[in-house]
Amino acid sequence: MGIPLASEARLASLQGRIPTIATLCSHSSLQIFHGARVEGFPTLGLCVGPPPKFYDAFPLARPDQFLSVPTVKDLPGATQRLRDAGAIIVPHGSFVEYLGPEAFSAMDVPVFGNRAVLGWESDRRKERDWLESAGVRMPKLYEDPNEITGPVIVKYYGAKGGKGFFLAKNREALADFRPTGPYVIQEYVLGTRYYMHFFYSPIADGGYRLRHGALELLGMDRRDEANIDELYKLGAQEELIRAGIRPTFVVTGNVPVILRESLLPRAFEIAAKIIDRSVELFGGMVGPFCLEGIMTEDFEFKVFEISSRIVAGTNLFISGSPYSDLVAPGLSTGRRIAREVAQARAQNRLAEVLS
């Protein structure tokens, strides 16, 4: 047996019944419901106000039932109804962001994955401690602007979609920078971005083995970001900034990518180190996660962020990806989550994949 994340009391609502897979109707919920349905689970859509009409357009992904609340903040008040329904909540980015990591963590309903990861991921300093202590390369942080030796990106804390991020080619270009809030100055890594979708199972006993369990790569995407991705068409950034046009990094879509095959071993090594360290620090980051980073021309992958749950880029691969096709046919990340619940249940190990 591995590390139990959930107490018996937390799992009492699942005793002797087939669990219902529940999530907030947003982000990657269509994929989560679709995957759960394919694996034979009932599904429950949590929605604010009436059920979203666009679900009617996707009958294979429409949840069996909806649970409506007046606002997102009312979701914790629905805890008893969720337990009565035998729900397992699958977190996604919008769910955690709208509710807030603390309120999400406090919900007394079984959650897929280890909710302890939220405290590590939502605090940029703790996230850096975790990844760097795992031996992962991250973009350098400059405490003293005089030490800057190349291009930098200035990130304000909590800048959603990188609004107000500031790019500077060198130290001199930062001379006129007047901060408007708390920020960090980070090395701007030159290279190509990759968002790698992994899945860590603490109960798997085959595949790419780790100290505990196994790691799978289920897909990879690159995000379309407005307005930075098309800004070059208007000319040099300095001129644009003088004209009052600032770069933003608001994700508007995703495109599929693959990595040179010779770089895959590196990708797995990095992901494995992060998982092994997460097991030491907080019992393990269970289930889907995404490594967001930049591959340099020297084939060094520098991770600027980790998302510790299903990411919206996986929506590209509802019927499989060039990677997941080599694990099992038609395996989306949503389906992989449902399959993990089914396997853990069959082995009486739900406490290791739920919290």
Q: Which residues of this protein are in contact with ligand ATP, per CB under 6 A?
A: 139, 153, 155, 159-162, 186-189, 193, 223, 225, 249, 294, 304-305
Give me the least distance between CB of 226 and ligand ATP, in Å please: 11
Spatial CA neighbour of 257 closest among 299, 196, 306, 310 = 196
Which residue type does 275 have? I
- Give Cα separations from 146 to 152, 174, 333 (angstroms): 12, 10, 44
Give me the least distance between CB of 63 and ligand ATP, in Å please: 28
Number of H helices and number of E strands within the chain?
10, 14
Q: How far apart are CA 215 and CA 284, in angstroms?
A: 12
Which residue number, 17 or 160, has a Cβ lying nearer to ligand ATP?
Answer: 160
- Give Cα separations from 68 to 48, 71, 220, 264 (angstroms): 6, 9, 33, 43
Largest CA distance in the chain: 66
Can you say whether the dihedral through the CA atoms of 227, 139, 164, 311 is positive or negative? Answer: positive
Which residue number, 189 or 350, has a Cβ lying nearer to ligand ATP?
Answer: 189
Which residue number, 112 or 194, has a Cβ lying nearer to ligand ATP?
Answer: 194
Give me the least distance between CB of 126 and ligand ATP, in Å please: 13
Give me the least distance between CB of 306 and ligand ATP, in Å please: 10
Which residue number, 137 or 212, has a Cβ lying nearer to ligand ATP?
Answer: 137
Give me the least distance between CB of 264 and ligand ATP, in Å please: 22
Give me the least distance between CB of 108 and ligand ATP, in Å please: 27
| Helix or strand run (H / E) with residue 253 | strand 249-256
The answer to whether 68 touches 49, Cβ cutoff 8 Å, is: yes
Which residue number, 160 or 209, has a Cβ lying nearer to ligand ATP?
Answer: 160
Which residue number, 11 or 174, has a Cβ lying nearer to ligand ATP?
Answer: 174
Which residue number, 95 or 249, has a Cβ lying nearer to ligand ATP?
Answer: 249
Give me the least distance between CB of 122 and ligand ATP, in Å please: 9
Spatial CA neighbour of 334 closest among 347, 352, 321, 346 = 321
Q: Which residue is nearest to ligand ATP (CB)?
A: 139
Burial label for 346, CB within 10 Å (0-12, 13-18, 19+), is exposed
